């Protein structure tokens, strides 16, 4: 190797020496230590698991010398968020048997379990595969869960989008035999629980991608999967009731690192139009260009958005075209112009109905106030239909007969869960990442804090007459941006202990980045700061102007002046 070869990041070296993600995970599973070593922690992500520890107990543990309380987060890959009732029931059983008894619906339409002990990891992953689900490639430097509009609609448009979701999932799945060897083979007898896996990685190669890769498929009138935040987005182009192809968008990504000035959130750019037959091939070509040219020296700038920023979209497109082997044509004029969260009752087109139930921050739990898991169990047992998870961390129950609508609603209310109609608009359009106590990167609270922030906003919004207005409020415990904060109308991003960066100016369409309105806002004044923005919006908005558009039009400085001057509700 030339001495001029760029220095690889440590994770690249770990991947390279891992024998296709095997590492020494097998040996470590068998030992009696309660956590994995640093190298295997990196490799486990590709298998769908992050090592975490209970950060609430760190202080006590330090005092008593008990050490960290380690556990594993296990994330599933559920393309398009489609899951059958019996699978959901099994997952609810699993979270109670081996997890911390809750489950989280993520912002990428999948499920994750928390609190799995290292000793139970093999049993957990094996069980998930036995119910025909998987954790492979739910995390790691590979293509992750493919998102797709979860609405159940009869007709070719949604069927074609769902088919593409499955084809992309299949075509871009890692082929390492390590997954089957580690999790689906009996360690004593060597007997395989399930067959599968291949000898090599024809697409990824031994070091996989420089960084994670995300794909989403949307319709112009319905950007519910947030297409501009994806590395690769497919915007369906529909003519005469059928999809004739897709506008391909590239280079979206939310994560930033405050200490690294060169990092930034980016919205995906329009690159080319492809026919349905070209849709999988273009993904493979794009992935290869990123595989071979993405930055493997610095993980902070390894996402594809940085390659596109360095090269410019024209050069990137030319490289993709070369790899694809066919001339690319320009995008059609079709653009995003709507967003449907699919909550409440919607007709499917076959005489049946879907019901979207808002799940606050995607957390499924039972307590004395409300029993979300029990609700899901009751509906799954009663209707035995398909469930779809949304990109806003909620669920859609499909294939409900009109005559059964009241029965479904009563199964929700008898478990003290508010229906979508009983949920305020601001709560319905909010979302947060997990953050504390399990996420190792969290700087501040997020999921545990956002509900009380929303509590504090509901009454003022009502007084201002804004309670029916639709806008997005998103919160994350660090700038990594897992809940896609940077294109929301308003967002709180954890910056320092108990302090947040307040962003304003994105929008529910997802096609505009927000700006930093105020930095290092202490937790105890966050609600007041947001109410002041609402008051300024109410007093100064133009006819039909959305909250994010208003914040963008007036800009940061004038927003601060208007927010100070506007009468509070």
β-pair partners for 74: 49, 113
Laid out side by side, the sheet with 353-357 consists of 82-84, 386-389, 395-400, 353-357, 344-347
User: Does 434 sit near ligand SF4 (CB under 6 A)?
Assistant: yes
User: Does 433 sit near ligand SF4 (CB under 6 A)?
Assistant: yes
| Active site (annotated) includes residue 482 | yes
Q: What contacts 174, CB < 8 A, 6 or more positions away? A: 21, 46, 136, 137, 142, 201, 204, 208
CB distance 308 to 269 below 8 Å: yes
Per CB under 6 A, the list member of 23, 233, 477, 510 interacting with ligand SF4 is 477
Q: 478, 512, 538, 551: which one is catalytic?
A: 478
User: Does 480 sit near ligand SF4 (CB under 6 A)?
Assistant: yes
User: Does 551 sit near ligand SF4 (CB under 6 A)?
Assistant: no
Select from 225-233, 451-459, 478-486, 499-507 the region that touches ligand SF4 (CB under 6 A): 478-486
Q: 104, 152, 214, 518: which one is catalytic?
A: 214
| Active site (annotated) includes residue 262 | no
User: Does 137 sit near ligand SF4 (CB under 6 A)?
Assistant: no
CA 418 distance to own-chain centroid: 24
User: Does 247 sit near ligand SF4 (CB under 6 A)?
Assistant: no
Q: 433, 449, 518, 551: which one is catalytic?
A: 433
CA distance 138 to 143: 8
Helix locations, 47-138, DSSP H: 58-64, 85-97, 121-130
Select from 19-27, 139-147, 433-441, 524-532 the region that touches ligand SF4 (CB under 6 A): 433-441
User: Among residues 25 and 433, whose Cβ is nearest to ligand SF4?
Assistant: 433
Q: What is the DSSP letter of 194?
A: S
User: Does 472 sit near ligand SF4 (CB under 6 A)?
Assistant: no
| Active site (annotated) includes residue 126 | no
| Active site (annotated) includes residue 144 | yes
Taking the complex as a whole, the smallest distance from the CB of residue 527 to ligand SF4 amounts, in Å, to 20
Taking the complex as a whole, the smallest distance from the CB of residue 405 to ligand SF4 amounts, in Å, to 36
User: Among residues 75 and 541, whose Cβ is nearest to ligand SF4?
Assistant: 75
Q: How many CB atoms lie within 10 A of CB 140?
A: 25
User: Does 256 sit near ligand SF4 (CB under 6 A)?
Assistant: no
Q: 139, 224, 482, 551: which one is catalytic?
A: 482
Taking the complex as a whole, the smallest distance from the CB of residue 436 to ligand SF4 amounts, in Å, to 8
User: Does 272 sit near ligand SF4 (CB under 6 A)?
Assistant: no
Per CB under 6 A, the list member of 302, 453, 461, 482 interacting with ligand SF4 is 482
- CA dihedral over 225, 227, 228, 230, signed as positive or negative: positive
- CA dihedral over 257, 261, 263, 265, signed as positive or negative: positive
Tokens of 276: 């349905």
Residue 473 backbone zone (phi > 0: left; psi -120 to 50: alpha; other: beta): beta
Q: What contacts 119, CB < 8 A, 6 or more positions away? A: 34
CB distance 358 to 420 below 8 Å: yes
CB distance 497 to 323 below 8 Å: no
User: Does 437 sit near ligand SF4 (CB under 6 A)?
Assistant: no
Residues 322-381 that bind ligand SF4 (CB under 6 A): none
> What is each CA distance from 355 to 370, 375, 380, 396, 411, in whole angstroms?
19, 13, 13, 5, 12
Taking the complex as a whole, the smallest distance from the CB of residue 468 to ligand SF4 amounts, in Å, to 29
Per CB under 6 A, the list member of 476, 487, 501, 549 interacting with ligand SF4 is 476
Kindly list the residues in this chain that would bind ligand SF4 in the complex (CB under 6 A): 433-435, 439, 441-442, 446, 476-478, 480-482
Kindly list the catalytic residues.
75, 144, 212, 214, 433, 439, 478, 482
């Amino acid at each position: 190797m030339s001495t001029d070869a760029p220095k690889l990041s440590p994770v690249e070296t770990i991947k390279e020496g891992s024998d296709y993600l095997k590492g020494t995970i097998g040996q470590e599973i068998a030992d009696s230590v309660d956590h994995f070593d640093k190298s295997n922690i990196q490799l486990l992500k590709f298998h769908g698991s992050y090592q975490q520890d209970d950060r609430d107990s760190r202080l006590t543990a330090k005092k008593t010398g008990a050490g960290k309380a380690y556990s594993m987060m296990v994330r599933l890959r559920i393309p398009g968020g489609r899951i059958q009732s019996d699978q959901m029931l099994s997952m609810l059983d699993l979270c109670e048997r081996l997890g911390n008894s809750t489950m989280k619906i993520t912002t990428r339409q999948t499920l994750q379990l928390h609190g799995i002990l290292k000793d139970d990891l093999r049993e957990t992953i094996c069980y998930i595969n036995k119910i025909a689900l998987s954790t492979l490639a739910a995390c790691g430097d590979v293509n992750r869960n493919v998102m797709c509009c979860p609405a159940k609609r009869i007709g070719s448009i949604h069927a074609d989008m769902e088919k593409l979701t499955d084809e992309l999932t299949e075509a871009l799945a890692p082929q390492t035999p390590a997954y089957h060897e580690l999790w689906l083979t009996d360690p004593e007898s060597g007997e395989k629980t399930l067959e599968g896996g291949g000898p090599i990685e024809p697409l990824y190669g031994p070091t996989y991608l420089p960084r994670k890769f995300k794909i989403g498929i949307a319709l112009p009138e319905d950007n519910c999967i947030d297409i501009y935040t994806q590395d690769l987005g497919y915007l369906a182009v529909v003519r005469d009731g059928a999809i004739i192809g897709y506008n391909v968008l590239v280079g979206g990504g939310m994560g930033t690192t405050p200490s690294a000035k060169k990092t930034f959130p980016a919205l995906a750019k329009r690159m080319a139009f492809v026919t349905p037959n070209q849709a999988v091939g273009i993904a493979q070509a794009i992935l290869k260009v990123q595989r071979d040219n993405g930055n493997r020296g610095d993980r902070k700038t390894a996402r594809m958005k940085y390659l596109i920023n360095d090269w410019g979209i024209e050069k990137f497109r030319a490289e993709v075209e070369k790899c694809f082997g066919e001339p690319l044509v320009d995008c059609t004029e079709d653009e995003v112009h709507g967003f449907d969260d699919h909550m409440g009752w919607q007709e499917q087109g076959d005489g049946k109905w879907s019901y979207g139930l808002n799940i606050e921050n995607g957390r499924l739990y039972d307590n004395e106030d409300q029993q979300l898991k029990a609700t899901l169990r009751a509906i799954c047992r009663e209707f035995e239909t398909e469930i779809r998870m949304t990109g806003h961390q909620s669920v859609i129950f499909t294939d409900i007969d009109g005559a059964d609508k009241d029965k479904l609603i009563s199964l929700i209310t008898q478990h003290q869960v508010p229906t979508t109609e009983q949920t305020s608009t601001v709560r319905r359009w909010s979302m947060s990442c997990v953050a504390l106590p399990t996420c190792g990167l969290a700087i501040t609270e997020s999921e545990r804090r956002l509900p009380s922030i929303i509590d504090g906003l509901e009454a003022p919004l009502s007084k201002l007459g804004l309670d029916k207005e639709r806008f997005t409020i998103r919160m994350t415990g660090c700038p990594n941006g897992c809940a896609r904060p940077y294109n929301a109308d308003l967002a709180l991003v954890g910056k320092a202990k108990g302090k947040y960066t307040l962003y304003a100016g994105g929008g529910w369409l997802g096609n505009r980045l927000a700006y930093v309105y105020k930095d290092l806002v202490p937790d105890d004044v966050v609600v007041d700061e947001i109410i002041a923005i609402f008051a300024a919006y109410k007093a100064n908005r133009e006819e039909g102007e959305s909250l994010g558009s208003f914040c963008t039009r007036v800009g940061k400085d004038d927003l601060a002046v208007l927010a100070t001057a506007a009468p509070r509700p």
